[in-house]
Amino acid sequence: MKLAATTTDHLTVHTAPVADPGDLVAHLPGPQALAWIRHGQGIIGWGEAARITLPGGTDRFTTADRLLRDLFAGADVHDPLRLPGTGPVAFGTFGFTPDSPGTTLIVPRRVLGRRDGTAWITTIGDDPGPLDLLRPPAPPGPLTWTDGAHTAATWQDAVATAVTRIRAGHLGKVVLARDLHATATAPIDPRVLLRRLADRFPGCYTFACDGLVGATPELLVRRTGGTVESLVLAGTAPAGDPDRARALRTSAKDHHEHAYAIEMVRQALTPLCDDLHIPAAPEILTLPNVLHLASPVRGHLAAHHSVLDVVAALHPTPAVGGTPTPTALDLIADLENMDRGRYAAPVGWIDARGDGEWGIALRCAELDGDRARLFAGCGIVADSRPADELAEAHNKFRAMRYALEG
**Is the bond preceding residue 324 a cis peptide, omega within 30 degrees?**
yes
Sign, Cα dihedral of 364, 369, 371, 373: negative
Count of all residues that appear for the chain in the document: 406
DSSP 114-181: EETTEEEEEEESS-----S-SS------SEEEEE-S--HHHHHHHHHHHHHHHHTTS-SEEEEEEEEE
Residues tagged active-site? 173, 218
Question: DSSP letters of 201-243?
Answer: -TTSEEEEETTEEEEES-EEEEEETTEEEEEEEEEEEESS-HH
Cα angle value 383/164/282 (rounded, 5°): 30
What secondary structure letter does DSSP report for 32?
A: S
∠ Cα 66 69 72 (to 5°): 150
For residue 91, which phi and psi values (nearest 5 degrees)? -90, 145
Judged on CB neighbours under 10 Å (0-12, 13-18, 19+), 73 is exposed
Distance CA 18, CA 270 (A): 40
Question: Please, are residues 345 and 100 in contact by the beta-carbon 8 Å criterion?
Answer: yes
What separation in angstroms does the CA of 207 have from each of 77, 224, 288, 319, 321? 26, 19, 18, 20, 22
Q: What is the DSSP letter of 74?
A: T
Residue 237 half-sphere exposure, CB side, CA atoms within 13 Å?
23
Pinpoint the alpha helices (H) of 315-372.
Answer: 325-335
